[in-house]
């Protein structure tokens, strides 16, 4: 009797797992569909590439996310400029320069895990207080880029480390046998082998920089109306959507549709590169 109950319980769980997977897929489709249906009708040339103009007499304004897009590009450029070299070099140190039981590596790994768990809002507060107030960079693209660098570091380190581990040990041994030193082996053998993996992490990082909002509001700013520079408050695409949500819901819907399209596009690129990588490995 007892056995029968157990059997049916497992079976119920199996059915539930089908249901959960269905809910998971359905929610993704629902989100993408709703955001696109609600937002795309309001996307226009003016909205994407026009000027942001206020009309102070009336309530109307020509809303445009173009300034925010430019600021996002700046932010992406500088974040990657800082983050990728540091992250890749740190991963090289962990994967190529140390033995597994090294104590310092253990500390680095704990640090990377901790950084992964810290929420973006805390990064935002830290960035605002440290880079913005303490180092006197104010609310600017620079402050934001430095904050995002710290925030994305664990992700870049971990994915680069994985990509380095996937490069066959044989290649390195061949390089050493030919008389190359450790750094030559790293730069000529290990890193080129890990390049597709690093590229994937760069693409996904770009997606996170575009989509980040909590860490952006107090480090870069929450609105962008004019051509951005490096030292004044501006915002990224996601921050702009948050601003628009407060002033014009239709524009916010349009902005989030643009955001979604960009993020999906970046993920598809990353997935294609990842798939090619896997095929090569086989």
Partner 1 sequence: MAVQPMRREKLRAVKERAAGIGFLCAAAFSVAAVFLIIVFMLIQGVPGIAEYGLFKFLFGKDWRPDLGSYGILNFIVGTVYVTAAATVLGGAAGILTAVFLGKFCPKFIRPLFGQLVNLLAAIPSIVYGLFGLVVLVPMIQKATRYRTAGVGILPSALILALMIMPIIVGISKNAVDAVPESYYEGAAALGASRAQAVFKVVVPAAKSGIFSSVVLGVGRALGETMAVIMVVGNNAANFPAQLVQPIRTLTTNIVLEFGEAGGELHRNMLLSTGLVLLFFILAVNLSITLAAQMRERRRAEKGKKPAVAAEKGGRADA
Residues 28-47 close enough to bind partner 1 by CB under 8 A:
28, 30-31, 34-35, 38
Q: Which of 43, 65, 72, 158 binds partner 1 (CB under 8 A)?
A: 158
Is 153 a residue that touches partner 1 (CB under 8 A)? yes
Please tell me whether residue 161 binds partner 1 under the rule CB under 8 A: no
Can you tell me which of 40, 42, 130, 138 binds partner 1, judged by CB under 8 A? Answer: 130
Taking the complex as a whole, the smallest distance from the CB of residue 27 to partner 1 amounts, in Å, to: 6
Task: Write down the least CB distance from residue 177 to partner 1, Å.
Answer: 17
CB nearer partner 1, residue 94 or residue 142: 94
Site for partner 1 in 210-269 (CB under 8 A): 210-214, 217-218, 222, 238, 241-242, 245, 252-253, 256, 259-260, 263-264, 266-267
30 or 57: CB nearest partner 1: 30
Report the site for partner 1 in 75-104 (rule: CB under 8 A).
Answer: 85-90, 92-94, 96-97, 104
The answer to the question of residue 26 lying near partner 1 (CB under 8 A) is no
- The size of the interface with partner 1 (CB under 8 A), counted in residues, is 94
**Is residue 157 a contact point for partner 1 (CB under 8 A)?**
yes
The interface with partner 1 within residues 176-195 (CB under 8 A) comprises: 181-183, 186
Cα dihedral 138, 139, 144, 147 sign? positive
C-beta closer to partner 1: residue 110 or 226: 110
**SS3 per-residue string spanning the chain:** CHHHHHHHHHHHHHHHHHHHHHHHHHHHHHHHHHHHHHHHHHCCHHHHHCCCEECCCCCCEECCCHHHHHHHHHHHHHHHHHHHHHHHHHHHHHHHHCCCCCHHHHHHHHHHHHHHHCCHHHHHHHHHHHHHHHCCCCCCHHHHHHHHHHHHHHHHHHHHHHHHHCCCHHHHHHHHHCCCCHHHHHHHHHHHHHHHHHHHHHHHHHHHHHHCCCCCCCCCCCCCCCCCCCCCCCCCHHHHHHHHHHHCHHHHHHHHHHHHHHHHHHHHHHHHHHHHHHHHHC
Options 74, 207, 224, 228; binder of partner 1; rule CB under 8 A: 207
């Amino acid at each position: 009797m007892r056995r029968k109950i157990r059997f049916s319980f497992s079976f119920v769980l199996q059915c539930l797992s089908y249901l959960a997977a269905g809910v998971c897929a359905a929610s993704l489709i629902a989100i993408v569909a709703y955001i696109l249906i609600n937002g795309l009708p309001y996307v226009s040339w003016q909205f994407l590439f026009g000027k942001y103009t206020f009309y102070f007499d009336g309530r109307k304004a020509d809303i445009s996310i173009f300034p925010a897009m430019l600021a996002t590009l700046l932010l992406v450029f500088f974040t990657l400029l800082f983050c990728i070299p540091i992250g890749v070099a740190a991963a090289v140190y962990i994967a190529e320069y140390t033995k597994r039981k090294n104590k310092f590596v253990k500390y680095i790994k704990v640090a990377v895990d901790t950084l992964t768990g810290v929420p973006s809002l805390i990064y935002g507060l830290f960035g605002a207080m440290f880079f913005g107030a303490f180092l006197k960079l104010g609310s600017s693209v620079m402050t934001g880029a430095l904050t995002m660098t710290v925030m994305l570091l664990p992700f870049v380190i971990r994915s680069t480390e994985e990509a380095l581990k996937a490069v066959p040990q044989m290649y390195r041994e061949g390089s050493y046998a030919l008389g190359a030193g450790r750094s030559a082996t790293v730069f000529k053998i290990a890193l080129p082998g890990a390049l597709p993996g690093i590229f994937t992490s760069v693409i996904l990082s770009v997606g996170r920089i575009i989509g980040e909002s909590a860490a952006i509001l107090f480090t870069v700013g929450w609105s962008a109306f004019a051509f951005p520079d490096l030292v004044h408050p501006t915002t990224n695409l996601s921050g702009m959507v948050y601003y628009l949500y407060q002033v014009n819901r239709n524009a916010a819907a349009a902005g989030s549709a643009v955001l979604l399209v960009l993020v999906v596009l970046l993920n598809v690129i990353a997935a294609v590169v990842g798939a090619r990588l896997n095929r090569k490995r086989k």
